[in-house]
Structure 1
Amino acid sequence: MNDKLLKIGVIGAGGRGGLSRNAVLPGVGGKIVALCDTDPDAFKKYEGVCDENVYKCSDYRDLLARPEVEAVFVCTPDYLHEEHAIAALQAGKHVYLEKPMAITIEGCDKILNEARKSGKKLYLGHNMRHMRFVQKMKELVDSGAIGKVKAAWCRHFIAYGGDAYFKDWHAEREKGTGLLLQKAAHDIDVLHWICGGYTTRVVGQGGLTLYDQITDRHPDTERGDATFRNENWPPLSQKQLNPVIDVEDISHILMQLDNGVFATYQQCHFTPDAWRNYTIIGTEGRIENLGENKVALWNTRCYYKAEGDEQFDCTPEGGSHGGADPMIVAEFVRYVREGGNILTSPIPARHSVAAGYLATMSIR
């Protein structure tokens, strides 16, 4: 056991950067020693988490120049991931990189090449692999509970799409490629992981079908969150959207994996409800998650029964994203300090971006 605390810097302290605070929880083994963000208000969430004299800056290069920083959380907007991750690796820092890895396949490959050259650890923030219901589905598949996997699909309803993704840079192709990277990168990775293969063929359809009709635009609207505010409902009542909106608000993609599995993914950003549903079908049964709390197994012939033949409790533990955020941060800190196995890896992260990117190009 390494008793020395891992000294951490955070590039992009606002937004997802807040998950880095899990590194200082008891028993995790991290200490945040430097913060970087272009918005000084982002530092407020670290009060009581860091020393009062924690180093703060607005230029990531200043943070990377700090010799005490051993590892860096890169939690900046997607279009900056490539630049910031490569710079951190070149500076000799271990890197936690939020998903998506980059907004192009080429960008992912550049990061991977730099990680190989640097010899430093690169860890990708695909936190859904740590969610209990995802792990249960993976366990059931690996145990042979449904035989050999043949088909899978995911339906993703994003009720807060207009609040969270069409009021800032997420709405612009130039800065994110499309929401199949920002949102579907999670789900494509989960489908790859559970089904045991990577996408080799992909085709997509979709479009910008609703949010382009809203003419109320504003360049400095504060991005919303995942709360459900009915004053913004129905979706066409949204106001102060990003001036540029050229990404799809609905997408369907078909994938064929290298092991023969056929998979689909559907995403919609203007549903009244928020729901993410996976179905995996094998030669001897089917599994499906019922929200984030339960997974059901069907393995006898019947007319449809919603409860399945067997159910498994997957009630999330404490912490954001179904308890996954504390676990993924703890795993990163342990991986840097001690090595060992990890649930996520840069290679699968690259493959999820590749599938999402090529699906987006297919749509367009």
Structure 2
Amino acid sequence: MVNSAESNALVRLAVIGCGARSDLARQAAASGLGEIVALIDPDPVAIQRGRARFGEELPAFASAAEMLADDILIDAAFVLTPDHTHAEIAIELLAAGLAVFLEKPLATTTSDADAVLQAAITAEAKLYVGHNMRHMAVVRTMRDIIARGEIGEVKAVWCRHFVGNGGDYYFKDWHAERASSNGLLLQKGAHDIDIIHWLAGGYTKRVVGMGGDTLYGALTDRRDNSDRTMSDWFSLDNWPPTEQRELNPVIDVEDLSMVLMRLDNGVYASYEQCHYTPDYWRNYTVIGTKGRLENFGDTDGGVVRVWNERRIYRPEGDLEFPINGDEFGHDDADLRTVTEFLRFVIDDTPTETSPIAGRNAVATAVAATDSLRNSSVPREIPSLAEETIAYFDGAGSPSTEAHTSMDGW
């Protein structure tokens, strides 16, 4: 294998996992920095899907090991497989010296997440975790407001996540099974926990979780959907949620969950997630010593409002900032995320995402899920070794001091 990233050539990329999320890899070509040169998936139907998406003549392999044993030239890989396979595949690729874009969550257990970090350190390889929400306009707008001091020192962060598409997105395939996802506080919540950490400027040290399977587990219309992907069954007409059909044969994850967090810098936070709301968006509230902010909508057309004068009630806020730059949901953020990864591969450009932050999102979600399933007993988050943190050089740390403005996007 040679490193085309050392020249002006495009970064040669393998796509590992040709399911619904593999569409992310289209952004490699859109960035102008990379090209897809190989597909890896054990399912021949998925390989056909990948070839239709990326090129009919692309070489295909059943496993990462099979690709690594070939003489094909690869610089980096997108790991877009089901969550429980992330750690094993990433460790194998990192050991071979490839740069790895690992879709979030980094792993489904804290120990596996730590093992992935160690694999990158041992091989001195590049690891990037795909927390694309750090590049969403709504998040960057909120972070800009905090960095300017509009609300003072952050003391609390609250996030309500209305997962209106939850029945179609997470209860008709492997996401609904603990064995594959651990739980949706991890699979879905890792995004928001990472953003809570980023906005708050710290990492969770103690959590309490509560929730349960309150709706989907009682529905009896089931089907093995392994012959399809989410785009085949998704429809906004699947409503109300009690009328959902063809759910996964096994459902043992929660559809309603709540988490309380205490961070290492004294900030307190909460996260709530429901998978059967009629609407689909996230609502953040950040409270500081001089005011608070809150977003209304999380894509183009939404706004972030700030209250920083004392009053009884003013729904329009004292300041209002438009959300610009996410016209197509998180597609825009996906392009920024993939572009950031490829620039990191090419010339070590610093990243806004962070393997350390990705690990701490996993550790928090795993501990919260364990608390939720065990009488809401509080759980402590295990710390990382200082040398592990030092290796990744603070990339994408939650500190609001290392802040990049959206200006020029």
Provide the TM-score with structure 1 as the length reference. Answer: 0.94
Matching of residues 223-262 of structure 1 within 5 Å: 223-224=229-230, 229-262=235-268
What is the distance in 1 between the residues matched to 2:231 and 2:161? 17
| Partners of 1:225 and 1:250 in 2: CA distance | 24
What one-letter code is carried by the residue in structure 1 that aligns with 2:244? Q
Q: Structure 2 length normalisation: TM-score?
A: 0.84
1:329-358 C-alpha deviation (Å, 9 max, x unpaired): 011011000112100010000000111000
56-65 or 307-316, which deviates more: 56-65
Find 1:331's aligned residue among 340, 352, 365: 340
Question: Are 1:298 and 2:290 counterparts?
Answer: no
The superposition leaves residues 39-77 of structure 1 with CA deviations (integer Å, 9 ceiling, x where unpaired) of 344445656875553211222222233440110100000
Quote how far apart the aligned CAs of 1:305 are: 2.4
- Separation (CA, whole Å) in 1 of partners of 2:220 and 2:54: 43
**What is residue 192 of structure 2 aligned with on the other side?**
187
Question: Partner amino acid for 2:157?
Answer: A
Q: 1:223 Cα deviation (Å)?
A: 4.6
- 1:277 maps to 283
Relative to structure 1, the CA distance from residue 103 to residue 226 in structure 2 (aligned partners, 3 Å threshold; closer, same or farther) is farther
Q: CA deviation at 1:127?
A: 0.1
Distance in 2 (CA, whole Å) between partners of 1:279 and 1:305 is 15
Residue correspondence of structure 1 range 84-123 to structure 2 within 5 A? 84-123=89-128
| Cα pair distance change 1:352/1:103, threshold 3 Å | same
Report whether the alignment pairs 1:308 with 2:317: yes
Structure 1 CA distance for aligned equivalents of residues 44 and 312 of structure 2: 58
* Aligned 1:128-147 pairs, distance under 5 A: 128-147=133-152
Query: Aligned equivalents of 2:52 and 2:335: distance in 1?
Result: 18
Give the deviation of 1:168 after TM superposition. Answer: 1.0
Q: Determine the structure 2 residue equivalent to 1:321.
A: 330
Quick check: 2:39–2:50 contact (8 Å CA) kept in 1? no
**C-alpha contact 1:152 1:279 (8 A) present in aligned 2:** yes
Kindly indicate whether the alpha-carbon contact (under 8 Å) linking 2:51 and 2:58 is maintained by their aligned counterparts in 1. no
SS at match of 2:230: coil
Equivalence for 2:225: 220
State the alpha-carbon separation in 2 of the partners of residues 232 and 287 from structure 1: 34
- Aligned-partner Cα distance in 1 for 2:232–2:336: 21
Match of 1:39 in 2: 43
Structure 1 position 233, deviation (Å): 1.3
Offset from partner CA, 1:236-257 (integer Å, 9 cap, x none): 1111211111111100000000
Q: Cα–Cα, structure 1 residues 163 and 317, in superposed 2: closer, same or farther, change >3 Å? A: closer
The one-letter amino acid of 1:275's match is W
| 1:55 maps onto 2:22 in alignment | no
Provide the rounded CA distance (Å) in 2 between the counterparts of 1:254 and 1:74: 31
Q: For 2:312 and 2:197, how far apart are their aligned partners in 1?
A: 29
Cα–Cα, structure 1 residues 19 and 322, in superposed 2: closer, same or farther, change >3 Å?
closer
Q: Distance in 1 between matches of 2:57 and 2:232?
A: 33
For residues 23 and 61 of structure 1, what CA distance do their matches in structure 2 show?
23
Distance in 1, matches of 2:296 and 2:7, equals 40
Task: Provide the aligned C-alpha RMSD in A.
Answer: 2.0
Q: Give the letter for the 2:238 counterpart.
A: N
Contact 1:184-1:356 at 8 Å conserved across structures:
yes
Cα distance in 1 between the residues matched to 2:159 and 2:331: 18
Give the conservation status (yes or no) of the 8 Å contact 1:163–1:223. Answer: no
User: Which segments of structure 1 move beyond 4 Å, counting only runs of 4 or more?
Assistant: 43-52, 225-228, 317-320
**Correspondent of 2:161 among 144, 156, 161:** 156
Which stretch of structure 1 is more off in the superposition, 243-252 or 51-60?
51-60
Q: Is the 8 A contact 1:167 1:223 kept in 2?
A: no
User: Distance in 2 between the 1:46 and 1:212 partners?
Assistant: 32
Q: 1:264 to 1:317 in 2, by over 3 A?
A: closer
Q: Percent identity?
A: 50
Q: Map of 1:198-217 to 2, 5 A cutoff?
A: 198-217=203-222
Q: In structure 2, what is the Cα distance between the partners aligned to 1:235 and 1:107?
A: 34
Cα distance, 1:207 vs structure 2: 0.5
Q: Which amino acid aligns with 2:267?
A: V
Structure 1 counterpart SS, 2:293: strand
**In the superposition, relative to structure 1, how do residues 159 and 318 fare at CA in structure 2: closer, same or farther (>3 Å)?**
closer
Query: Deviation digits for residues 1-39 of structure 1, max 9, x if unmatched?
Result: 9522111011002221221111112x5311111011233
Provide the C-alpha distance between the structure 1 equivalents of 2:309 and 2:287, rounded to a whole number of angstroms: 13
**2:29 equivalent in structure 1:** 24
Helix, strand or coil at the partner of 1:305: coil
The answer to whether the 8 Å contact 2:256/2:273 transfers is: yes
Consecutive unaligned residues of structure 1, counting only runs of 5 or more, are none
Q: Is the 8 A contact 2:128 2:353 kept in 1?
A: yes
In the alignment, residue 245 of structure 1 is paired with which amino acid? I
